[in-house]
Amino acid sequence: MQSWPNDRPRAAYRPERRGVLRATLLAVAVAPLAGCDLFESEPEPVASPDPLAPLLAGTLDLAARHEAAIAAYPELAGRLTPVLEAHRQHAADLAKLTGAATPSPAATTPAATPAGDVKATLAALRTAEQQGQKSAADACLAAPAERAALLGSISAARATHLEVVR
């Protein structure tokens, strides 16, 4: 037979009162700590949307507007296709910079067919390009240095788009 502390047989072993008190005190002292995240890892921070997400959405909207104008007035294709391609490239660059899914040309939300004639369509595109240029310039001014070069390039490109849709 195996001997236990104090040379008592196992069946006759009873814990000492001091040991029981120590275990109880330890359990009482540690129990409140179990709910205070002391033993848990840090919670994952909630990802906030990238500040450039609205600029990406606006870029996709501009691309969709140009697609709709080209579809409605094929005679504008020669003028507007380079602008459309620039917006698509800017959207791809912004998506890469922000970690968003890279939009495909087919992924742009179709804009409503332009109302009116060619002049009205170009006027609407010019207004949209002006707003887009302002938002790109504002984003460039607020961006950290590593993002400013791309945003400055987008803002400059949109300024030239204003001349194309004149």
Q: At what angle do helices 53-72 and 145-164 cross, to 10 degrees?
A: 20
pLDDT at position 113: 67
- List the domain range (segments joined by +) for residue 110: 53-164
22 inside domain: no
Please state the pTM of the whole predicted model.
0.68
pLDDT at position 46: 57
pLDDT band at 30, cuts 50/70/90? low
33 inside domain: no
Sign of the four-CA dihedral 97, 103, 104, 110: negative
CB 106 within 8 A of CB 60: no
pLDDT band at 54, cuts 50/70/90? very high
CB 129 within 8 A of CB 158: yes
pLDDT band at 83, cuts 50/70/90? very high
pLDDT at position 114: 72
pLDDT band at 4, cuts 50/70/90? low
Query: CA 166 to CA 163: how far, in whole Å?
Result: 5
Query: CA 94 to CA 143: how far, in whole Å?
Result: 13
98 inside domain: yes
pLDDT digits (tens, 9 = 90+) for 62-72: 999 999 999 99
9 inside domain: no
Query: CA 83 to CA 164: how far, in whole Å?
Result: 8
What's the domain count of the chain?
1
81 inside domain: yes
CB 151 within 8 A of CB 136: yes
34-38, 122-126, 153-157: the lowest-pLDDT one: 34-38
CB 162 within 8 A of CB 96: no
111 inside domain: yes
